[in-house]
Amino acid sequence: MPSRKTAIVTGSTSGIGLAIAHALAAEGCNIVVNSFSDTADDQAITDAIAKHHGVKTAYIKADMSKPAECRALVAKAAETFGSVDILVNNAGIQHVASVEEFPIEKWDAIIAINLSSAFHTIAAAIPLMKQAGGGRIVNIASAHGLVASPFKSAYVSAKHGIMGLTKTVALELARDKITCNAICPGYVLTPLVEAQIPDQMKANKMDRDTVVREVMLEKQPTKEFVTVEQVAAAAVFLCSDAAAQINGTHI
């Protein structure tokens, strides 16, 4: 991967997003770190990436539920580094409840952050990538972009939407040397997954160990969690020259 490309990774102060930020920085990319907060910890995480990998970084706060802030994130990244070459849409939230008990505000928030934010960042990044002669878009979907589980109507709907968006963008931009692909991991042990275990315990009337074993890992052939580093490695590959002809699909 050519060095000193600029990569935006949304939702990148923890979990999968942070691992991807580190992995792309290790390849020489300047990194835009993003979250919805604006704390000393966020800046410390951003500075640590720069120090460890010898690249430039910037922390840009954006509430990914708000279209204007999604688009402003991309504009600020381009203003800071001069280009946007890689966009990784990773920001996401979760809520576990039955359809009949699912709070409307939770549905709206999950669709906004997990699906609509990707549309807005992609739309803002396209002109910049065209100007640069190409680019890479990676959407972090989920196994729930391919199949469904009970009690996750909003999350499953959003991730299925990400798959449709990925394919549409890939077809529209194929001749512009811009690829758009998705990553669909099974359960990854992140703060997002840890946070949903109590809700899964309540919804399924199970203890913690049973939820992990029978709900989360039951359908994973290895019976193990995916690691954030494994997801990050897939993202780096999709952003590489070797993946130039991989477009509109998922890993």
Are the beta carbons of 49 and 69 closer than 8 angstroms? no
Output the DSSP codes for 1-26. Answer: --TT-EEEESS-SSHHHHHHHHHHHH
Distance of CA 4 to the CA centre of its chain: 21
Residue type at 35? Answer: S
Nearest Cα to Cα of residue 231 among 11, 50, 56, 41? 11
| Catalytic site includes residue 59 | no
Are the beta carbons of 62 and 72 closer than 8 angstroms? yes
Locate 58 and state its tokens: 């910037």
Catalytic residue among 36, 59, 81, 155: 155
Provide the pairing of β-strand 135-140 with 178-183.
Answer: parallel
The HSE-up count of residue 17 (CA atoms within 13 Å, CB side) is 25
Locate 47 and state its tokens: 């500075």
Known catalytic residues are 155
